[in-house]
Chains A and B, each alone.
Chain A
Amino acid sequence: MNRVTIGPIGNLIGGKLEPGRGTEEISVLNPATEEVLGSFTDSNQDDIDRAVVAAQNAQPGWAGRTPGARADHIRRLADLVEDHLDELATLEVLDAGKPWTASRGEELPGILDSLRHFGAAARLTTSQPAGEYVEGNTSYLRREPVGVVAAITPWNFPLWQAVWKIGPAVAAGNAVVIKPAENTPLSTLRFVQLASEILPPGVINLVQGRGATAGAALVAHAGVDLVSFTGSTRAGRLIAAAAAAGPKRAILELGGNSPVVVFNDVDIERAVANLSGTALYNAGQECMAATRLIIQSGVRDEFLAALAAAISSNTIMGDPFAAETTLGPLISRAQLDRVRGLLERRPAGSRFVIGGSIPDGPGFFVPPTIVDGVSQHDELVQEEIFGPVATAQTFADEAEALRLANDVQYGLAGSVWTRDIARGLRMVNSMNFGNVWINNHLALGPDLPIGGFRGSGYGKEGGQAGIEEFTRIKQVVISLT
Chain B
Amino acid sequence: MNVSRPDSVRTELFIDGGFVPALDGQTFELFTPSDGQHWVDVAAAQDGDVDLAVASARAAFESGVWSRKSPAERKEVLLAFATKIEEANDELALLDAADAGRPITEATSFDIPDTAHTIRWYAEAIDKVYGKISPSGEANLGLIVREPVGVVAAVLPWNFPAQVMAWKLGPALAAGNSVVVKPPELAPLSTLRIAELAVEAGLPAGVFNVIPGLGHVAGRAVGLHPDVDMVTFTGSTEVGRAFLHYSADSNLKRVVLELGGKSPQIVMPDVRRLLPEVADDLANAIFFAAGQNCTAGSRIIVANELREEFLELLADRARSYRVGNSLSPETTLGPLIEPSAVDRVAGYVDGARASGARIVTGGERVLTETGGYFYPPTVISDVNPNDAIVREEVFGPVVAVLGFDTEAEAIRLANDTDYGLAANVWSKNLDTAIRTARSVRAGTVSINGYSEGDITTPFGGYRQSGFGGRDNGVEALEQYTELKTIWISLG
Q: Spell out A's residues near B (CB within 8 Å).
A: 63-69, 122-133, 135, 140-143, 418-422, 424, 438-439
Specify which of A65, A140, A418, A438 is in contact with B133 (CB 8 Å cutoff): A140
Interface flag for B350 (CB, 8 Å): no
Instruction: Find chain B residues with CB under 8 A from A143 CB.
Output: 133, 135
Whether B70 lies near A135 (C-beta < 8 A) is: yes
B56 to chain A, nearest CB (A): 25
Interface flag for B134 (CB, 8 Å): yes
Specify which of B137, B434, B447 is in contact with A67 (CB 8 Å cutoff): B137
With the chains together, A64 CA to B433 CA distance in Å?
50
Interface flag for B144 (CB, 8 Å): yes
With the chains together, A422 CA to B72 CA distance in Å?
40
With the chains together, A67 CA to B143 CA distance in Å?
16
With the chains together, A420 CA to B428 CA distance in Å?
6
Whether B127 lies near A130 (C-beta < 8 A) is: no
Whether A129 lies near B430 (C-beta < 8 A) is: no
Instruction: Find chain A residues with CB under 8 A from B40 CB.
Output: none
Whether B133 lies near A422 (C-beta < 8 A) is: no
Q: Digit string of B131-145 for contact with A (CB within 8 Å is 1, else 0)?
A: 111111111010111
Specify which of B70, B134, B429, B486 is in contact with A132 (CB 8 Å cutoff): B70
Question: A126-B132, A129-B131, A131-B130 in contact; A422/B448 too (CB < 8 A)?
Answer: yes
Instruction: Find chain A residues with CB under 8 A from B71 CB.
Output: 131-133
Whether B135 lies near A124 (C-beta < 8 A) is: yes
Q: Could you list 26 examples of A-B contacts with CB < 8 Å?
A: A64-B137, A65-B138, A66-B139, A67-B137, A123-B135, A125-B135, A126-B132, A128-B131, A128-B132, A128-B133, A129-B130, A129-B131, A131-B71, A131-B127, A131-B131, A132-B70, A133-B70, A135-B70, A140-B131, A143-B133, A420-B428, A421-B428, A421-B447, A422-B428, A424-B430, A439-B431
With the chains together, A439 CA to B143 CA distance in Å?
43
Question: A419-B429, A420-B430, A421-B433 in contact; A65/B137 too (CB < 8 A)?
Answer: yes
Instruction: Find chain A residues with CB under 8 A from B139 CB.
Output: 66
Instruction: Find chain B residues with CB under 8 A from A65 CB.
Output: 137-138
Q: Which residue of B lies closest to A66 (CB)?
A: B137
B485 to chain A, nearest CB (A): 10
Question: A420-B430, A421-B427, A439-B430 in contact; A64/B138 too (CB < 8 A)?
Answer: yes
Whether B137 lies near A69 (C-beta < 8 A) is: yes
A472 to chain B, nearest CB (A): 14
Specify which of B137, B144, B430 is in contact with A438 (CB 8 Å cutoff): B430
With the chains together, A143 CA to B138 CA distance in Å?
11
A59 to chain B, nearest CB (A): 13
Listed residue (A66, A133, A421) with the most chain B CB atoms within 10 angstroms of its CB? A421
B143 to chain A, nearest CB (A): 4
Question: A140-B143, A420-B428, A421-B434 in contact; A130/B137 too (CB < 8 A)?
Answer: no
With the chains together, A66 CA to B431 CA distance in Å?
44
Instruction: Find chain A residues with CB under 8 A from B143 CB.
Output: 130, 140
Instruction: Find chain B residues with CB under 8 A from A129 CB.
Output: 130-133, 145
B285 to chain A, nearest CB (A): 19
Instruction: Find chain A residues with CB under 8 A from B72 CB.
Output: 133
Specify which of A64, A67, A419, A420 is in contact with B135 (CB 8 Å cutoff): A67
Specify which of B137, B427, B429 is in contact with A68 (CB 8 Å cutoff): B137
| Across the A-B interface, the 9 shortest Cβ-Cβ residue pairs | A66-B137, A128-B130, A421-B430, A129-B130, A130-B143, A126-B132, A67-B135, A130-B131, A130-B145
Q: Which residue of B lies closest to A267 (CB)?
A: B431
A473 to chain B, nearest CB (A): 10
Whether B70 lies near A127 (C-beta < 8 A) is: no
Q: Which residue of A lies closest to B484 (CB)?
A: A130
Instruction: Find chain B residues with CB under 8 A from A142 CB.
Output: 133
Question: A66-B138, A421-B427 in contact; A130/B447 too (CB < 8 A)?
Answer: no
Q: Which residue of B lies closest to A123 (CB)?
A: B135
Whether B428 lies near A141 (C-beta < 8 A) is: no
Q: Which residue of A lies closest to B140 (CB)?
A: A66
With the chains together, A214 CA to B133 CA distance in Å?
39
B310 to chain A, nearest CB (A): 20
Listed residue (A66, A125, A142, A438) with the most chain B CB atoms within 10 angstroms of its CB? A66
CB proximity to A under 8 Å, residues B448-472: 448
B266 to chain A, nearest CB (A): 14
Listed residue (B132, B135, B141) with the most chain A CB atoms within 10 angstroms of its CB? B135
Instruction: Find chain A residues with CB under 8 A from B145 CB.
Output: 129-131
With the chains together, A122 CA to B131 CA distance in Å?
19
CB proximity to A under 8 Å, residues B404-440: 427-431, 433-434
Question: A420-B429, A421-B428, A421-B447 in contact; A130/B434 too (CB < 8 A)?
Answer: no
Q: Which residue of B lies closest to A418 (CB)?
A: B430
Whether B430 lies near A122 (C-beta < 8 A) is: no
Q: Which residue of A lies closest to B145 (CB)?
A: A130
With the chains together, A420 CA to B271 CA distance in Å?
11
Q: Which residue of B lies closest to A416 (CB)?
A: B430
Instruction: Find chain B residues with CB under 8 A from A438 CB.
Output: 430
Beyond A66-B139, A128-B131, A129-B132, 12 additional contacts (C-beta under 8 Å) are: A64-B137, A66-B136, A66-B138, A68-B137, A126-B133, A129-B130, A131-B131, A142-B133, A418-B430, A421-B447, A422-B448, A424-B430
